[in-house]
A and B are shown apart, each in its own frame.
Chain A
């Protein structure tokens, strides 16, 4: 063909992820079944699935949710569902997700012009803008009024509650998935823009796979790193034992929570302009995450986990408005919170519960959700600074995740363990965003 003057595109990426070497992903043979299944149902195995397949039990329930969300019966038409996801992904400049859903949108019979800019989409979809923006960056600002504007009788165009909740779940799901995509450094699919080239990459361009230098860097620190794991393990054990002995005052607990949430974790300041692809799909691109309570300011009141929880309240509401969806999400949350292989880096038989809990609660803390029965002091003990940098970047500014941040934390952990951390962040983020919205909806229908 090249002789006929047609340029043949080549895939650029050397594997699904820019952070994780391809061989790490494919050796683990356990995930074969689930990959076969997802291939059969989707017709392809995309990079996202390949990386998630490191945790097959999660992947299977993730695929179920995804299927229910996009394919099964629901109040929104199929092309709309994908367009809502496109809108959501664009907020995080995630061209991977934008392209995946754009394609699906066209396959579902969507109107091509919508993809060239949000201004071509129906007013009804555009009216989701505020909610989309808040959900992505500052869900705690969502109030009853936002819901009312979309749902109340006079609203034009009017959303039904079922439609709205479907859209909300789609958006929150996509936002958190963007975190995962960025956090795992997923390479573009071969058919994506940036995923192929017509010329073989020049030699100087080759070391773009950023993991190799990082690996070399870490060698000299091997001893140091090994010690780190030991220390972490010791702390976890200590924490489990001491919890009963030490009783700290109310003030101390509050301060600890406040400290976590206002601690300044330097997330990259550089805000790259959004890629061209998503430019037309974002309104107000400058609206970003801001610390829940910037120092010295009167903070919005924290949300108490005991007052509005997923198990007691959120589930029932979703289940009521969008039957079965609550069940799927509930399963997803449960799988993530129980997922463990009882090992850490090179150690086997470790109870990682405290570590997982600390991660989960740290994310919720970043989003202003507080657990009365959790001592936020342990977050500091368990989560090293580099991990916090990664987690906060990924949860709050996912588009700024870099290979350096990814490689800086947990240097002696397996990649699969880092992906596990990614999953926890992603689900915690999803739940936090959903809780705020569902609480507003509850307040609205009251």
Chain B
């Protein structure tokens, strides 16, 4: 009740009390307006025109102005306004183009007073002068605004907007002679009521129609406008050019905007389509509504503050045929629900974390961000009533940097660039990629690659005997590499299937035996993993393992992977050391083994045998955060494996890999990947935004029509620097100096020269 008394004092004698309440109307409302003493509200619509009294607990219907058996279209109201000085005077704008005034003091049932039918089209808006008793302004679809003197039978002046329909007209609260009009083409005009010949000022406020405008009740220069482009803009009109000082982006077209009384920075909006809520914004914090009223079930068509000096009561009418009184204290506060924490990963594995200060203040020993203490106190003004401002939010931003050495992403970039994904025979591709991995000290990855070679060539061998040649050639080589880099488990399964004697050779090594029964994939990975687990504790706590870098996209289809894999590092450069001693098999030995065994084991091994293993291995890699591996293998193997993995999973892998590549700005690689992928969802990425917009090299303006001649300066824009003719077709240019020309010409030129053919002295570079 403390608040109540405050309100009472503010308003002097006329105290307002009430609660959130509503009443059903018989028909959808188009507009509402209140009388000056805030005791009554008028509701107007196509099929309704009624006055309700606002009582303590409810709305009470006072008067139905819609009389007659078959009411004329003059009763079909697009807008209504109650005079703020004369409490018996109302004006409505009818959809058939009539402007009607109503005198409640009339004794008869029909209160219609004057009827003006000067507009040819629907009248969108009527507005009384705030202080003058007889002055009424109307704005219509036909593009005209008319000013009526209610003592005369017709309009006293007509203002032509010289454009499409007028959507809103508003007298300035402070300047006696000024009014603003907003138009369907996005313009706002300012007029002097005494000068109907020409507007004082015009500016473009929105793209598309400006549905509404409202002068600030206190500040003479401020005008708020709302448009179909979903924006509310506040303009400072005191300067020579109207200056946009605030802008609020809403989620739907803005149908009405009303400044909140007594609160300089608050305004209420409602939307014309889709969104049914009423928002109250603090224009200084445009990203989140200050308060929301969510009662209506259909679009809100009219909003009005109940009393021009009381910010606590809002009335609204809606298409859902209800009339509401909203108490401000009952409003929803979206900011309370907003999540004040934010988390984001940087490209190189850094982590930024913003959190409400109160939560982290106790957390001692935090490493301050080198860029300074980033704290954003949003609001600090003090007012007695805490519900009247945004909660004091200040967040602390912490940035955790990763240890440079332990989780550099260099390998990612390098491998991405060096991997060959197509263009060579399959075996060569594998070979090449294995070498790349080797060079980058990622033996485990390399191992996988070599292993695949064996498997798949083996598979091929089964079908096409001609392949046995390449197999023989490949076999020993890869075997040799494998042995060098260790990774004995790789051979396990070859051995297992057909070489008991080989198993004996290997048997000397303990771990191998233990793994025989398992899927090979696990063997392969358990090794480095165990090893890694030991190293993890040594790292600083805030270091992030690289897989955190991956988006959380992995699909768990490898249930056999042990849980602690999650904290494992994707790949460790130092696996081999531990196991070096097992490189005991001599290359020669394995060479002979394999070449001999060829015919022996091929009957047992065919594609369907390998595929599940490869598949498991790939999903395992993906899950551990190395989509690069998964995707590269996927591409290189192509048809051989594609059918084994469901499309959605593939798409996930591709998407994450492409995303990563693009974040590392490896555009070419990512494009290659897109091109080579077999998922339709991925290949169509290349179909999007294929338009290349070019500017004229002469006048620097966009070339709209044809690619080679500029419409404005009539210059041939793209002349070849070598032959000086216009280039139609392939145009290649140096991105350094932007000179270029026919592809062939430039190629020829660059064979003998390194400088730009245009003579600009630039050392051109083409990739």
Write the residues of chain A forming the contact surface with B, with a CB cutoff of 8 angstroms: 33, 37, 40, 73, 243-244, 247, 249-251, 253, 304, 306-307, 311-313, 315-317, 320, 372-373, 442, 445-446
Contacts and interface: CB of A to CB of B under 8 A. Distances in A.
Given A244-B118, A249-B72, A372-B73, 10 more contacts: A73-B687, A304-B95, A306-B46, A307-B46, A313-B272, A315-B208, A316-B252, A372-B76, A373-B95, A442-B273
Given A247-B117, A250-B70, A316-B228, A37 B96 contact: no
B70 A315 contact: no
Contacts, number: 72
Contact of B95 (A33, A73, A306): A306
Contact of B121 (A304, A373, A446): A373
A372 B96 contact: yes
Contact of A253 (B46, B73, B94, B121): B73
A24 to B, nearest CB: 27
A372 B274 contact: no
A372 B273 CA distance: 21
A227 B70 CA distance: 42
A316 B121 contact: no
B436 to A, nearest CB: 36
Nearest to B124: A306
Given A251-B70, A442-B273, A315 B118 contact: no
Contact of A316 (B119, B272, B687, B689): B272
Nearest to B230: A316
30 contacts: A37-B706, A73-B689, A250-B70, A250-B71, A250-B74, A253-B96, A304-B46, A306-B78, A306-B95, A307-B46, A311-B184, A311-B209, A312-B209, A312-B211, A312-B272, A313-B273, A316-B253, A316-B273, A316-B274, A317-B274, A320-B274, A372-B95, A372-B96, A372-B122, A373-B95, A373-B97, A373-B119, A373-B122, A442-B273, A445-B274
A307 B71 CA distance: 18
A90 B95 CA distance: 39
B130 to A, nearest CB: 27
Contacts of A244: 117-118
B35 to A, nearest CB: 26
B651 interface: no
Interface in B262-281: 272-274, 276
B297 interface: yes
Interface in B72-127: 72-74, 76, 78, 94-97, 117-122
A407 B364 CA distance: 90
A357 to B, nearest CB: 10
Contacts of A307: 46
A280 B67 CA distance: 57
A311 B74 CA distance: 23
A373 B274 contact: no
> Among the interface residues A244, A313, A320, A372, which one has the most CB atoms of the partner chain B within 10 A?
A372
A446 B96 contact: no
B297 A446 contact: yes
Given A372-B122, A373-B120, A250 B73 contact: yes
Label chain A's interface by main secondary structure: helix
Nearest to A442: B273
Nearest to A250: B72
B539 to A, nearest CB: 45
Contacts of B72: 249-250
B497 to A, nearest CB: 44
Contacts of A316: 228, 252-253, 272-274
A252 to B, nearest CB: 10
Please name the 4 residue pairs, one residue from A and one from B, whose CB atoms are nearest each other, closest first.
A250-B72, A372-B95, A316-B273, A372-B96
Given A250-B70, A306-B95, A315 B228 contact: yes
B656 interface: no
B272 A306 contact: no
A442 B78 CA distance: 20
B321 interface: no
B120 A243 contact: yes
Nearest to B123: A373
A251 B72 CA distance: 8
Contacts of B118: 244
B92 to A, nearest CB: 13
Contacts of B689: 73
B217 to A, nearest CB: 27
Nearest to B705: A37
B507 to A, nearest CB: 57
B298 interface: yes
B573 to A, nearest CB: 43
Contacts of B122: 306, 372-373
A373 B123 CA distance: 9
B96 A373 contact: yes
Interface string B202-243: 000000110100000000000000001000000000000000
Nearest to A372: B95
Contacts of B94: 372
Interface in B694-734: 705-706
Contacts of B96: 253, 372-373
Contacts of A312: 209, 211, 228, 253, 272-273
B547 to A, nearest CB: 33
B688 interface: yes
A304 B120 CA distance: 17
A311 B273 CA distance: 11
A445 B121 CA distance: 31
B335 to A, nearest CB: 25
Contacts of A446: 276, 297-298
Nearest to B95: A372
B141 interface: yes
Contacts of B74: 250
A181 to B, nearest CB: 28
A50 B208 CA distance: 32
A247 to B, nearest CB: 6
Contacts of A253: 73, 96
Nearest to A313: B273
A382 B389 CA distance: 61
Nearest to B141: A373
A313 B271 CA distance: 11
B678 to A, nearest CB: 15
A253 B74 CA distance: 12
Contacts of B46: 304, 306-307
A446 B274 CA distance: 7
A73 B690 CA distance: 10
